[in-house]
Structure formats: structure tokens, C-alpha cells
Amino acid sequence: MQTNRKTLMPLAVLFIVLNGFFISGKNLLNKWGTDQDVLIIGNLFLMIITLFSYLIASRGLKSENTHAFVRAVYSSILIKLFITLIAAFVYISVYRKELNKPAFFTLMGLYLLYSFIEVKTLTRQLKEKKNG
């Protein structure tokens, strides 16, 4: 089991495809009333926090101690959740009247998508560890 480019490829591809769409689809996003800047910054934030969370959980996978593994996975989930909640609260507080709801709800969906890819990647690594 190793953390290499291949294991992080799905996250990188998702990030690049989404940002490509957000940049090239400005007219479509404006038509939907979605703020392009919020989506690009939010996508970058989600990528960074997911990568951080993945690295914590991946480190736990390397441990032979089951309790350490469980602690690492729960810690990564909670850190990601709380940091994202704090960022959402700050965004809502600062831009209360100019809050872009379509972009905000899109980012909520992207949070789930990034989390799904993270869990799928970690599950694949766990299966490789059992077989290896």
C-alpha cells in the first residue's frame, strides 16, 4: 500500500474537470444565477480539505493498530466536516445579503462528491492492504 499519484488521480481529475467547467461555462453559470468565483474558490477549498483529510486517514491505514486506524478515519471525517462547516458559516455571515444560494448548494453537493471519492479511494487502499 502506497500513497502515490495513482491513488490521488481521481481527486485531481475531479478538481480539474470541475474548474474547467466553471471557467469555460461562465455564460451558463450566469444564466443559472450561479457565482463563478464562489464555485472556483469553493472547489479549491474542498480539494485542499479533502486532500488533508485523505492524508490523515491514509496514515491511519498504515498503522497495524486497529484503534489507531479507527481514530485516524474518524478524525479525518470530523476535521473535514467541522472545517467545512466553519467555512460555510463564515461565508453565510459575511455575505448574508449577497449569498449566492445556487453556488452554495452546488458546493454542498460537491462536498458529498469529494467525500465519496475519498472513501472509495481509501476503501481500495484497505483492500490492497489486506491482500498484500
Tens digits of residue pLDDT in 32-86: 999 999 999 999 999 999 999 999 988 888 888 888 888 988 899 899 999 999 9
Average pLDDT, the chain: 89
In the chain, where are the structural domains located? 5-124
Where is 128: in which H helix or E strand? helix 101-131
- The model's pTM is 0.87
Q: What percent of the chain has pLDDT over 70?
A: 95
- Kindly report the three-state secondary structure assignment for every residue of the chain: CCCCHHHHHHHHHHHHHHHHHHHHCHHHHHHHCCCHHHHHHHHHHHHHHHHHHHHHHHHHHCCCCHHHHHHHHHHHHHHHHHHHHHHHHHHHHHCCCCCCHHHHHHHHHHHHHHHHHHHHHHHHHHHHHHHC
What pLDDT does residue 4 have? 61
Whether the pLDDT of residue 1 is over 50: the answer is no
